[in-house]
Amino acid sequence: MRAVGVALILLCVLAACEDKPPARTVFDPQLKALQKARAVEGQVRQAAERRADEAEQAETK
């Protein structure tokens, strides 16, 4: 009998949950900063690859 009551309570709790996440969380600023850092990292890597290619081409001339 006790298990039925616990199961009923858990079912009610799960039914009350929303499917969509909240529009804004406390982690949004940190997530935006992380995305920006990843974008900058990609740009830095591309620039480093370009410089390495240019240096290699300059050495072969």
pLDDT of residue 33: 96
What is the C-alpha separation between 15 and 13, in angstroms, rounded? 5
Q: Is residue 11 part of a domain?
A: no
Q: Is residue 7 part of a domain?
A: no
Whole domain around residue 36: which residue ranges?
A: 25-61
The predicted-structure confidence for 22-52, as pLDDT tens digits, reads as follows 778 888 999 999 999 999 999 999 999 999 9
Q: Is residue 2 part of a domain?
A: no
Q: Is residue 9 part of a domain?
A: no
Given a cut of 90, whether residue 59 has pLDDT beyond it is: no
Q: Is residue 1 part of a domain?
A: no
Q: Is residue 43 part of a domain?
A: yes
Residue 60 confidence class, pLDDT cut points 50, 70, 90: confident
Q: Is residue 53 part of a domain?
A: yes
> Taking the model in full, what pTM does it have?
0.50
Tally of domains within the chain: 1
> And the tokens for 61?
């001339």
Q: Is residue 54 part of a domain?
A: yes
